């Protein structure tokens, strides 16, 4: 059922009018570009113009980016360190498709559902890009009838959010998830997740951080104690979640004006959500008359007590904070919730003292979700889960800024030997030397030129920080040798061709 | 502009009628499931039912699959080996977004464009999932103004093709691409790509293979010599490309009936495309009166001559075949084209002799595309490129079948030590021992139970092939020791707690 040419021409006319209107109204360039792109896509449908003559904005889609080799080195290094921690805790890797049946994602993300990318209906199934790795995990566990696993999953997820790319907020971004699925005793897996986040942040060495902890049952109990109707728990929870970005006055306004809460109820919530601390705070709240009367609040507080104790046994006490303002936006959490934020570097004051600068944004989050797998199981069988997700884009941003400030320019390839020829007519000999080196596992390259200048070849080695160069001409070949050059010192030594690969490997080992 | 409830109800009614009609007509189950899924998605829009009560087919989208830990081990192993070869040849990694502006992909894939996945227009840019990694590379090079790079890119691509999953044909699948961009002397980079494919197939050890080689200029010249009009070169080329799946008679019919070729022209093509060989064949064709008269054919043949010579210098002569039936479907190739196919295992005949079984499908392909980057550069600046793409899904399939035939069940995690307690009340002590082991880099886990049975813990170690177990009770703790158990031999030894991590590391080294 493809469109007729007339339909496309009509669409082009309408779209062209829209573009002209936007331009006349001096709308923002980005908005105009988007509509121009649609216009060009329509014109392309006609197939009148050969592809060569297409004119369009040369860019990646909004909120996405390419990774250049330099950035890939950094990214791979970060991901490798994270995987090492996941493996240290017994994690097994899985992967799922980048898209899911749309209905798999429906009803899982609360107010954030509007940020899901849908695929076009091209006939067949209705699909959406994954929004996180947690819902696909739950679908996988139900589908594969797995009742316990420690799995990690490192993959990109997709959110049609407002990007803020300099701060590492993208529409396509990596998540590194570790989740413990299975029926275990309270808070033992939950505490290990805190340990994992702490180990990862320590190994990445990106500065001070604090892991905020809270409990959905405590939040619900607190809402109940303050007089929030049960059907508003989730939407009030979403409002509390905004406290990391908005002041209380704004969140209070949302609760009252948009979500219809009494002012007095909102004010009671306001009292609680400013509290944070440790075991002392848990005990204080367990004695709070309003909370004491609500079963969910007591259960949540007892859970927090246990979690804090276990975190203490793993040396985490000075890295965590029980924080009643932590809510997490997603609908599916049922127990403990986590969020790890980097502290800003302390500011040095005029008098030489330092001043704490608050936090610069979340780098990890997660929590317990005991009912999600059951939503997928045909018989509603539950598999309790708890997990954390590391938001590496922000970590990349921080580390990129650090590397660039330090003026670091690490190599982006691993070439060990460059094969250079001293005069023309030697390209086939280069190939046969390279072939021998490659076959023996040596990382080697040459110029791809028939007749490269020797100086240019040696300069390439120095610029690219290649450690060794093989140099030869007819005079060397006659003697069955080549010169092996140490690029940094420019020292050369004659090596019999038959021993070249071994000599290179020996030198690289040292 | 979201739909009203009435509109959705109307859509549900129409969709419901369609489903009933399909069921009445006993249409294939898959088709019905697809329409039922759409119906459920529509119903979900109403938001009447809580998510818990959703009923739907529990599956991954058509043509996609999950990777379980066992499969991830295999996949990671294969990808690591491929990356090692790419790095041996000086490759640098890049990554690009999973989707591109739709217009980036338009006009690049010829008849295959219909297989591109489009995203829904949710306001903003019009996007499509990437179809390969080559067009995104060209877009990246033009956008970043890079005129030479050896880059590799390992990522998933998306094609709405008919899946054949048992043979490794998916709608979401990995490509592992290595491309050499830059202006170099003829066939030197092109020959290295053949070497790379050969090294990868050798290191993966998946059996005999042949790398077929041809040249687009030769194909065009041959079409011209046979009397094909120039505007039909690409579509006739697409027809020739089907020779690996369809017999000549079928391809001939397509050329004549669908593409309007004279029967005599088709028959002349038929003569050429059955030829394959080596340098001898090139020389024979260079002397062919019809081809000799066409400039493009001579250029293509001279290119092949050079390529075969360079391949010879790298010891590849017995792994390649110059094959005039190789055409490659994609529009953008301009020079050499490659395709690597696995040979089927020889069949053993009743008399004990073996019989060659032909090939079982393509595992790598590629070619030269000198005009693609220029399509993206605002000034049309060209960057000549040549590259290969390894199709790892088929390789995974072959290796999975081999592993399963051999009854292999490798471990899917790397846990080195299990921390077991001999009686109840020791869970906090377990945490503190684990904490110490983790902090010292030992891969360790425990039961997440307050009071696990000792036997169950030790059985877990044996089942999971964990090499070591730490076992302790109050009597050990009083003496400041734990028992370190070698799981396979069940031998236990007392180790002072303070020396535990070092002792474990020492044992794991041996």
Contacts of B347 (CB under 8 A, 6+ apart): B354, B355, B357
For A80, A179, A200, B9, the CA distances from B439, given in Å and listed in that order, are 17, 20, 11, 58
Q: Which residue has the tokens 């998946």?
A: B206
Nearest CB to A438 within list B96, B182, B199: B199
- Name the token pair of A288: 């709070």
Looking at residue A5, its pLDDT comes to 65
Test B434 with A314 for CB contact under 8 angstroms: yes
Nearest CB to A60 within list B88, B97, B119: B97
B328 annotated to bind ligand = yes
Test A185 with B99 for CB contact under 8 angstroms: no
| HSE toward the beta carbon, residue B399, CA cutoff 13 A | 21
Test A142 with B58 for CB contact under 8 angstroms: yes
Question: How distant is the Cα of B38 from the closest Cα of chain A, in angstroms?
Answer: 6
Test B188 with A102 for CB contact under 8 angstroms: no
Test A160 with B99 for CB contact under 8 angstroms: no
Residue to test with chain A: of B100, B119, B199, most A Cβ within 10 A: B119
Nearest CB to B119 within list A58, A120, A150: A120
User: By CA distance, what is B116's nearest residue in A?
Assistant: A122
**What are the pLDDT digits (tens) for B381-430?**
999 999 999 999 989 988 888 888 888 788 999 999 999 999 999 999 99
pLDDT tops 70 at residue B44: no
Give percent above pLDDT 70 in chain B: 93
A107 chain-B contacts, CB cut-off 8 A: 44, 50-51, 54
Average pLDDT of the residues in B317-336: 93
Long-range CB contacts (< 8 A, 24+ apart) of B228-235?
B228/B261, B228/B265, B228/B269, B232/B259, B232/B260, B232/B261, B234/B110, B234/B331, B235/B110, B235/B111, B235/B259
- Measuring CA to CA, which residue among A392, A417, A296, A336 is closest to residue A71? A392
Looking at residue A318, its pLDDT comes to 95
User: By CA distance, what is A90's nearest residue in B?
Assistant: B415
B95 annotated to bind ligand = no
Please give the full DSSP string across A189-224, using - where no structure is assigned.
HHHHHHHHHHHHHHHHT---EEEEEEEHHHHHHHHH
Question: How distant is the Cα of A147 from the closest Cα of chain B, in angstroms?
Answer: 14
A184 annotated to bind ligand = no
Please give the full DSSP string across A263-313, using - where no structure is assigned.
HHHHHHHHHHHT-EESHHHHHHHHT-HHHHT-HHHHHHHHHHHHHHHHHHH
**What are the pLDDT digits (tens) for B215-269?**
999 999 999 999 999 999 988 998 999 998 899 999 999 999 999 999 999 999 9
Test A124 with B67 for CB contact under 8 angstroms: no
Residue A176: helix, strand or coil by DSSP?
Answer: strand
- Measuring CA to CA, which residue among B297, B323, B305 is closest to residue B191? B305
Q: What distance in Å separates the CA atoms of residue A218 and residue A402, rounded to the nearest whole number?
A: 39
Looking at residue A268, its pLDDT comes to 96
Average pLDDT of the residues in B322-327: 96
Q: In terms of C-beta density within 10 A (0-12 exposed, 13-18 middle, 19 or more buried), how is residue A135 classed?
A: buried
Test A41 with B99 for CB contact under 8 angstroms: no
Looking at residue B52, its pLDDT comes to 47
Q: What distance in Å separates the CA atoms of residue A179 and residue A193, rounded to the nearest whole number?
A: 8
User: By CA distance, what is A145's nearest residue in B?
Assistant: B58
> pTM for this structure?
0.87
What does the angle CA B415 – CA A192 – CA A153 come to, to the nearest 5 degrees?
65
Residue to test with chain A: of B36, B235, B413, B443, most A Cβ within 10 A: B413
For A6, B11, B32, B36, the CA distances from B17, given in Å and listed in that order, are 31, 10, 12, 11
Looking at residue A84, its pLDDT comes to 98
For A296, A327, B234, B279, B344, the CA distances from A222, given in Å and listed in that order, are 8, 12, 69, 82, 67
Q: In terms of C-beta density within 10 A (0-12 exposed, 13-18 middle, 19 or more buried), how is residue A138 classed?
A: buried
Give percent above pLDDT 90 in chain B: 74
8 Å CB contact between A364 and A197: yes
Test B103 with A56 for CB contact under 8 angstroms: yes
A371 chain-B contacts, CB cut-off 8 A: 52
Question: How distant is the Cα of B291 from the closest Cα of chain A, in angstroms?
Answer: 28
Q: What distance in Å separates the CA atoms of residue A229 and residue A251, rounded to the nearest whole number?
A: 18
Test B69 with A414 for CB contact under 8 angstroms: no
Q: What distance in Å separates the CA atoms of residue A386 and residue A364, rounded to the nearest whole number?
A: 14
Strands A359-368 and A385-390: antiparallel
- Name the token pair of A165: 């790319």
Q: What distance in Å separates the CA atoms of residue B118 and residue A41, rounded to the nearest whole number?
A: 12
- Check residue A262 and report its DSSP letter: -
User: By CA distance, what is A382's nearest residue in B?
Assistant: B52
Test A450 with B56 for CB contact under 8 angstroms: no
Test A103 with B37 for CB contact under 8 angstroms: yes
B61 chain-A contacts, CB cut-off 8 A: 97, 99-101, 125, 127
Nearest CB to B413 within list A58, A90, A314: A90
Task: Using pLDDT thresholds of 50, 70 and 90, give the confidence band for residue B5.
Answer: low
Test B438 with A89 for CB contact under 8 angstroms: yes
A159 annotated to bind ligand = yes
Residue A157: strand pairing partners: A173
Contacts of A235 (CB under 8 A, 6+ apart): A110, A111, A259
Look at B215 and B164; give whichever has higher pLDDT: B215
Looking at residue A386, its pLDDT comes to 98
Task: Using pLDDT thresholds of 50, 70 and 90, give the confidence band for residue B463.
Answer: very high
Q: What distance in Å separates the CA atoms of residue A270 and residue A261, rounded to the nearest whole number?
A: 12
Please give the full DSSP string across A335-398, using - where no structure is assigned.
SEEEEEEEEPPPEEPTTS-EE---EEEEEEEEEE-SSHHHHHSTT-----EEEEEE-HHHHHHH
User: By CA distance, what is B50's nearest residue in A?
Assistant: A107
**What are the pLDDT digits (tens) for B470-509?**
999 999 999 999 999 999 999 999 999 999 999 999 999 9
Test B127 with A309 for CB contact under 8 angstroms: no
One pLDDT digit (tens) per residue for chain A, 510 residues: 346 667 777 778 888 888 888 888 877 777 777 787 778 777 766 655 444 445 567 999 999 999 999 999 999 999 999 999 999 999 999 999 999 999 999 888 887 899 999 999 999 999 999 999 999 999 999 999 999 999 999 999 999 998 887 777 899 999 999 999 999 999 999 999 999 999 999 999 889 999 999 999 999 999 999 999 999 998 899 899 999 889 999 999 999 999 999 999 999 999 999 999 999 999 999 999 999 999 999 999 999 999 999 999 999 999 999 999 999 877 889 999 999 999 876 566 666 666 655 556 789 999 999 999 999 999 989 999 999 999 999 899 888 888 888 887 889 999 999 999 999 999 999 999 999 999 999 999 999 999 999 999 999 999 999 999 999 999 999 999 999 999 999 999 999 999 999 999 999 998
Neighbours of B488 (CB within 10 A): 12
pLDDT tops 90 at residue B110: no
Test A54 with B195 for CB contact under 8 angstroms: no
Q: What distance in Å separates the CA atoms of residue B216 and residue B229, rounded to the nearest whole number?
A: 16
Test A185 with B448 for CB contact under 8 angstroms: yes
Cβ contacts from A onto B, under 8 A: 306
A160 annotated to bind ligand = no
8 Å CB contact between A92 and A149: yes
Please give the full DSSP string across B210-228, using - where no structure is assigned.
EEEEEEHHHHHHHHHHHT-
The beta-strand segments (E) located in B18-171 are 92-93, 99-101, 127-129, 149-158
User: By CA distance, what is B113's nearest residue in A?
Assistant: A45
- Measuring CA to CA, which residue among A237, A219, A239, A235 is closest to residue A335? A219
- Measuring CA to CA, which residue among B398, B422, B417 is closest to residue B473? B422
Residue to test with chain A: of B11, B74, B101, most A Cβ within 10 A: B101
Phi-psi region of B328 (alpha: psi -120 to 50; beta: other; left: phi over 0): left
Please give the full DSSP string across A299-324, using - where no structure is assigned.
HHHHHHHHHHHHHHHTT-GGGEEEET
Residue A483: strand pairing partners: A471, A494
Residue B89: helix, strand or coil by DSSP?
Answer: coil
8 Å CB contact between A357 and A346: yes
- How far is residue B361 CA from its own chain's centroid? 14
A174 annotated to bind ligand = no
Strands A354-355 and A347-348: antiparallel
Strands A417-421 and A468-472: parallel
pLDDT tops 90 at residue B164: no
What does the angle CA B225 – CA B228 – CA B230 come to, to the nearest 5 degrees?
100
Nearest CB to A52 within list B40, B375, B415: B375
B445 chain-A contacts, CB cut-off 8 A: 89-90, 150
Residue A444: strand pairing partners: A417
- Check residue A113 and report its DSSP letter: G
Looking at residue B359, its pLDDT comes to 56
Residue B315: helix, strand or coil by DSSP?
Answer: coil
Residue B420: strand pairing partners: B471
Phi-psi region of B208 (alpha: psi -120 to 50; beta: other; left: phi over 0): beta
ipTM exceeding 0.90? no
- Name the token pair of B220: 């065009």
A97 chain-B contacts, CB cut-off 8 A: 60-61, 64-66, 172
Q: What distance in Å separates the CA atoms of residue B343 and residue B307, rounded to the nearest whole number?
A: 23
């Amino acid at each position: 059922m493809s469109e007729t040419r007339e339909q496309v021409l009509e669409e082009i006319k309408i779209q062209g009018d829209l573009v002209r209107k936007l331009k006349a109204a001096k709308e923002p360039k980005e908005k105009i570009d988007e509509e121009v792109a649609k216009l060009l896509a329509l014109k392309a449908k006609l197939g009148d113009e050969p592809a060569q003559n297409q004119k369009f904005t040369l860019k990646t889609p909004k909120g996405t980016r390419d990774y250049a080799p330099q950035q890939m080195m950094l990214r791979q290094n970060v991901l490798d360190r994270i995987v090492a921690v996941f493996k240290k805790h017994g994690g097994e890797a899985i992967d799922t498709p980048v898209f899911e049946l749309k209905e798999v994602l429906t009803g899982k993300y609360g107010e954030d559902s509007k940020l899901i990318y849908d695929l076009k209906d091209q006939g067949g199934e209705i699909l959406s890009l994954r929004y996180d790795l947690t819902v696909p995990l739950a679908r996988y566990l139900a589908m594969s009838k797995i009742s316990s696993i420690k799995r990690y999953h490192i993959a990109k997820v997709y959110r049609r959010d407002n990007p803020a790319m300099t701060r590492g907020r993208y529409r396509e971004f990596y998540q590194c998830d570790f989740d413990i699925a299975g029926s275990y005793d309270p808070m033992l897996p939950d505490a290990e997740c805190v340990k994992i986040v702490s180990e990862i942040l320590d190994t990445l060495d990106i500065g001070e951080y604090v892991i905020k902890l809270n409990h959905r049952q405590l939040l619900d109990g607190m809402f109940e104690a303050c007089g929030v109707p049960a059907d508003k728990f989730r939407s009030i929870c979403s409002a509390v979640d905004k406290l990391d970005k908005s002041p209380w006055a704004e969140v209070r306004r949302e609760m009252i004006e948009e979500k219809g809460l009494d002012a007095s109820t909102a004010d009671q919530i306001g009292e609680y959500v400013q509290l944070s601390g440790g075991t002392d705070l848990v005990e204080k709240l367990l004695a709070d008359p309003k909370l004491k009367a609500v079963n969910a609040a007591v259960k949540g507080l007892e859970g927090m007590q246990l979690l804090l104790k276990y975190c203490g046994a793993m040396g985490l006490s000075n890295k965590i904070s029980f924080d009643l303002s932590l809510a997490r936006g997603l609908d599916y959490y049922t127990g403990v919730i986590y969020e790890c934020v980097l502290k800003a570097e302390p500011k040095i004051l005029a008098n030489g003292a330092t001043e704490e600068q608050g936090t610069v944004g979340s780098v990890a989050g997660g929590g317990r979700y005991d009912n999600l797998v059951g939503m997928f199981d045909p018989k509603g069988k539950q598999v309790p889960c708890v997990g954390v997700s590391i938001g590496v884009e922000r970590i990349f941003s921080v580390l990129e800024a650090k590397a660039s400030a330090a003026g670091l320019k690490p190599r982006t390839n691993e070439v060990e030997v460059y094969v250079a020829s001293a005069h023309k007519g030697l390209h086939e000999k280069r190939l046969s030397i390279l072939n021998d080196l490659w076959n023996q596992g040596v990382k080697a390259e040459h110029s791809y030129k028939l007749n490269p200048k020797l100086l240019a070849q040696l300069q390439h080695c120095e610029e690219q920080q290649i450690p060794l160069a093989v140099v030869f001409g007819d005079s060397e070949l006659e003697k069955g040798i080549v010169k092996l050059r140490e690029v940094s010192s420019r020292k050369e030594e004659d090596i019999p061709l038959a021993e070249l690969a071994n000599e290179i490997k020996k030198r690289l080992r040292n």
